[in-house]
Chains A and B, each alone.
Chain A
Amino acid sequence: MISKLIFLVVIGFLSTTSSIYAHPVAYAGSNSIMTWNSQSMSDWMLTHTFESTYSLSARYQRIETIEGERTFYIPHLNFLLKRWNELDSQANVYLSMGHGGEKVNHSLKDTSFLAFETDWESRKYYVSFREEALMTYKKRASNLYMSKVRMGFAPYLAEFNELNSWFILEAIKQNKNKDSFMLTPFVRLFYRNVLVELGVSQKGESQFNFMIHF
């Protein structure tokens, strides 16, 4: 696991491509790969941004729930509904929606996806809120809902082409996880087009997030 992590970080740092911040919608013509991984889930998302206001993602999610392991394949559209650009800060509102499938006995069953996200960030502080729903072919009680709040600060102001470091606290509430509430502090490092986050929850579950834009 550690060697795989180091490999991914090295590959990312050696990449010569450019990027912007790890939002679901980036600049026109850009691509991104984002992944979030822990013992209880694995989430991979490949995104292409067509315009600065919308992008298309292909997503794979494996989630350990109280009903067992569930796997989803969801293509979805992401829209930047509103952005506020100020001299010292930026705020955004995003909406994502899609329709795909949940893998059940070698076939895919209809699943819809909806997410709302808003954030505000300056060079020193960062806060975001995300609400996400996976509505499955099963009865409504099987739907997965997640609320996520993140807050962070940068211990120093990094210039362009310097290593950026952040401390982030993440709170997640999920209706189908064994741990319905998870509090995870993260260390976030990013340089050029690569972002890495490492965290350990209050329950001792480690998490590794990785994002690259090109």
Chain B
Amino acid sequence: MNILILILALGSMSVYAGEKVEVTVKGMVCSFCSQGITKKFKENPIVKSVNVNLDMHLVNLEFNENQKLDDQKIEALLKDAGYGVEKITRK
């Protein structure tokens, strides 16, 4: 019985966990750039977390439960911050 409850709980977590997106960004060459991009995404209440990896040119986004930003919106936010998008991968 306990195992069944655990399986159901884990299952519901995966259903309601926020979507994760990996964005490969063009022009992000320093931590100053990363700060601007992070701030721009954090202004959006849908975005739960923003993590930047400069070496890989990646911005990892996690959204709140059952919410997401479409590719056009992500590109628009990055354009507002002054950067370009190479690739968007949804996980």
Contacts and interface: CB of A to CB of B under 8 A. Distances in A.
Interface of A: 18-22, 25-28, 30, 51-52, 80, 83-90, 121-123, 157-162, 164, 190-193, 195, 213
Given A22-B32, A190-B32, A192-B35, A52 B26 contact: no
Contacts of A87: 24, 26, 57, 86
A155 to B, nearest CB: 14
Contact of B31 (A30, A85, A121, A164): A164
Contacts of A85: 26-27, 82-84
Interface in B55-77: 55, 57
B36 interface: yes
Contacts of B40: 27
A157 B80 contact: no
B82 A83 contact: yes
6 contacts: A27-B40, A85-B82, A89-B27, A157-B55, A160-B31, A192-B35
Interface string B44-58: 000000001111010
Interface of B: 24, 26-27, 29-40, 52-55, 57, 79-84, 86
Given A18-B35, A52-B81, A193-B35, A160 B53 contact: yes
Contact of A193 (B32, B52, B81): B32
- Label chain A's interface by main secondary structure: loop
B30 A19 contact: no
Nearest to A19: B35
B76 to A, nearest CB: 11
Contacts of B83: 85
Given A52-B82, A159-B31, A190-B31, A26 B36 contact: yes
A92 to B, nearest CB: 9
A28 B82 CA distance: 8
A78 B39 CA distance: 22
Given A20-B82, A52-B79, A83 B30 contact: no
B74 to A, nearest CB: 15
Nearest to A22: B32
A176 B82 CA distance: 36
Contacts of B86: 87
B30 A18 contact: no
A18 B38 contact: yes
Given A88-B57, A161-B31, A192-B35, 6 more contacts: A21-B33, A80-B82, A90-B27, A90-B29, A123-B30, A123-B54
